[in-house]
Amino acid sequence: MANLVNFEKRGPIGVITVDNPPVNALSVGVPQGIMDGVKAGETDSGITAVVLRGAGRGFIAGADINEFLSPPPPGSASLDDVITCFENSTKPIVAAIHGNALGGGLETALACHYRCGTGEAVYGFPEVLIGIIPGGHGTQRLPRICGVEKALPLMVSGEFVPAKTALALGIIDEIVDGDLLDGAIAFAERIVAEGHPLRKIRDETASVPTDGFYENFEKSIAKRARGHLAPYKIIEAAKAAVELPFEDGVELERKLFRECLESDQSKGLMNLFFGERTCTKIPDVPRDTPTQNIASAAVLGAGTMGGGITMNFVNVGIPVTILEMSQEALDRGLEIIRANYANTVKKGRLSQDKMDKRMSLITPTLSYDDIANADIVVEAVFEEMDIKKEVFRKLDDIMKPDAILATNTSTLDVDEIAAVTERPEMVIGTHFFSPANVMRLLEVVRGAHTKKEVIATVMQLGKTIKKVPVLVGVCDGFVGNRMLARYSKQAYQMVLEGALPQDVDKAVFDFGLAMGPFAMGDLAGLDVGWRIRKRRATENAAIKDDAGIDDQICEMGRFGQKTNAGWYKYEPGSRVPIPDPEIEQLITRYCEERQIQRRPIDEQEIIERCIYALVNEGAKILEEGMALRASDIDVIYANGYGFPRYRAGPMLYADMVGLGKVYKAVCGYHKQYGEIWEPAPLLKRLAEQGATFNDL
Predicted pLDDT of residue 2: 55
> What value, to the nearest 5°, has the Cα angle with vertex 34 and ends 252 and 173?
70
Single-letter amino acid, residue 404: I
Is residue 107 within 8 A of residue 62, CB to CB? The reply is yes
Domain pair 297-472 / 499-598, same fold: no
Reported pTM = 0.92
Segments of the chain with pLDDT less than 70: 1-2, 68-69, 540-546
Classify each residue of 376-396 as buried b or exposed e, where b means 16 or more C-beta atoms within 10 Å of its C-beta.
bbbbbbebeeeebbebbeebb
H helices of 444-525, in order, are 452-464, 480-497, 501-511, 517-524
pLDDT tens digits, 14-37: 999 999 999 999 999 999 999 999
Residue 49: how many CA atoms within 13 Å on its side-chain side? 26
DSSP string, 210-274: PTTHHHHHHHHHTTTTTT-SHHHHHHHHHHHHHHS-HHHHHHHHHHHHHHHHTSHHHHHHHHHHH
Which CATH number fits the domain 5-261, given the four candidates 1.10.1790.20, 3.40.50.1820, 3.90.226.10, 2.70.70.10?
3.90.226.10
Q: How far is CA 157 from CA 125, 150, 230, in A?
A: 8, 12, 11
Neighbour order of strands in the sheet with 160-162: 100-102, 122-124, 160-162
What residues are annotated to the active site?
Answer: 107, 127
pLDDT value of residue 346: 95
From the list 455, 397, 398, 400, the residue with the least C-alpha distance to 425 is 455
What CA–CA distance (Å, rounded) separates 405 from 430?
A: 10
- Per-residue pLDDT at 547: 73
Could you state, in order of their start, the residue ranges of all structural domains in the chain? 5-261, 297-472, 499-598
Task: Identify whether the C-beta of residue 503 lies closer than 8 Å to the C-beta of residue 601.
Answer: yes
> Cα–chain-centroid distance for residue 606?
26
> According to the model, what pLDDT value does residue 1 have?
45
Whole-number pLDDT of residue 317: 98
Residue 662 CA to residue 651 CA, distance in Å, equals 11
CATH for 499-598 (2.30.110.10, 1.10.150.120, 3.40.190.10, 1.10.1040.50)? 1.10.1040.50
* Strand positions, DSSP E, 31-156: 49-54, 93-97, 100-102, 114-118, 122-124
What is the C-alpha separation between 109 and 22, in angstroms, rounded?
A: 19
Adjacent-strand bridge partners of 116: 96, 174
What pLDDT, on the 0 to 100 scale, is given for residue 63? 79
User: What's the CATH fold of domain 297-472?
Assistant: Rossmann fold (3.40.50)
Distance CA 37, CA 12 (A): 14
Spell out the SS3 assignment of 502-561.
HHHHHHHHHHCCCCCHHHHHHHHCHHHHHHHHHHHHHHCCCCCCCCCHHHHHHHCCCCEH
